[in-house]
Amino acid sequence: MKILVTGANGYIGSHLVSKLIDKGHDVIACDLANDNIDQRATYCHADIFSCGDKNLYTFFGEPDACAHLAWRDGFVHNSKRHIEDLSAHFRFLTNLIDNGLPRLMVMGSMHEAGYHEGKIDASTQCNPMSLYGIAKDSLRRALVLYCQSAKCRLQWARGFYIYGDDIRNHSIFTKLIEAENRGDKTFPFTSGKNKYDFMSVGELASQLAAVVVQDKYVGIIHCCTGKPVSLGRQVEAFIASHNMHISLDYGAYPDRPYDSPCIYGDNTIIDKIMKETR
């Protein structure tokens, strides 16, 4: 297959590009830079926010599918850019759809669900509590309606808590590495009690690659493990596995009000996809 990947130079996108190429697919890698993009991909320098009115499906070589991962300020949950960019995402994607794109996969987020306790599945009602979550949820709802009347199959790949390649991901694991390198003895931490569905970026890329190349399953697909683990346990394991000498200062920071006490995904569909695409 020929697959267009937007945000191909990003934290997740760069891993997805390599996974798809490893599986024998042709990848058109779209981004503003290419320092992290697999050199086997066909790189296309393009700003999705200012592509104009040209036929983007033809411009990108008429791909069989698009994996849309491009997103600004993904680690800054209340950045105004999430809302400001929303119409540009919709305009870019509907241009591809209108001109012939047959399949679209978009990267979603657990933050669409909002404050929640327990497992979420495709039927879970969303009540996002950050600008990031609101923007993702709004784009999903708009695309569901749009694709119902267009000949394009929509896959909404909802991600959860991603780790790995930690110097690039701006997460708590990045901050831990930086603190350890500074020689800090303690690390200010929350209660650590919140439970999340953790997955390495490499495994996430494998799941995303499997989702976008198949057309049996559409709609919301949770890319996850289906197993909740406390943040404290995951971070303590990270410290131990990296032989760090830093210790966590529990309770130094309050838990964020929009962070769920326990949130994890229903992995039923993704498990089927992974088995069927081996």
Reported as a single tens digit per residue, the pLDDT across 25-50 is: 999 999 999 999 999 999 999 999 88
- Is residue 257 one of the residues assigned to a domain? no
Task: Say which range, 88-102, 168-182, 183-197, has the weakest mean pLDDT.
Answer: 168-182
- Is residue 171 one of the residues assigned to a domain? yes
Q: How confident is the model at residue 166 (pLDDT cuts 50, 70, 90)?
A: low
What residue numbers bound the domain in which 138 lies? 2-162+198-225+266-276
Q: How confident is the model at residue 168 (pLDDT cuts 50, 70, 90)?
A: confident
Answer yes or no: is pLDDT of 151 > 90.
Answer: no
User: What is this structure's pTM?
Assistant: 0.94
Q: Clarify whether residues 202 and 270 are in a common domain.
A: yes
Q: Clarify whether residues 89 and 11 are in a common domain.
A: yes
- Is residue 258 one of the residues assigned to a domain? no
- Is residue 18 one of the residues assigned to a domain? yes
- Is residue 170 one of the residues assigned to a domain? yes
- Domains in the chain, number: 2
Q: Clarify whether residues 187 and 210 are in a common domain.
A: no
Q: What is the mean pLDDT of residues 213-233?
A: 96
- What is the pLDDT, as a whole number, of residue 20? 98
Residue 259 or residue 56, greater confidence: 56
Q: Clarify whether residues 22 and 49 are in a common domain.
A: yes
Q: Average model confidence (pLDDT) for the chain?
A: 94
- What is the pLDDT, as a whole number, of residue 271? 97
Q: Clarify whether residues 191 and 141 are in a common domain.
A: no
Q: Clarify whether residues 134 and 178 are in a common domain.
A: no
Q: Choosing from 132, 161, 163, 264, which is the catalytic residue?
A: 132
- Is residue 52 one of the residues assigned to a domain? yes
- Is residue 101 one of the residues assigned to a domain? yes
Q: Clarify whether residues 156 and 220 are in a common domain.
A: yes
Q: Clarify whether residues 188 and 73 are in a common domain.
A: no
Q: Tell me, yes or no, if 132 is annotated catalytic.
A: yes
Give the Cα separation of 99 and 157 in Å (integer): 23
63-76, pLDDT tens digit by residue?
999 999 999 998 89
Q: Clarify whether residues 111 and 239 are in a common domain.
A: no
Q: Clarify whether residues 39 and 176 are in a common domain.
A: no
Q: How confident is the model at residue 259 (pLDDT cuts 50, 70, 90)?
A: confident
The CATH number that applies at residue 153 is 3.40.50.720
Answer yes or no: is pLDDT of 85 > 90.
Answer: yes
Q: Clarify whether residues 184 and 125 are in a common domain.
A: no
- What is the pLDDT, as a whole number, of residue 238? 93
- Is residue 120 one of the residues assigned to a domain? yes
17 with 47: CB under 8 angstroms? no
Q: Clarify whether residues 108 and 90 are in a common domain.
A: yes
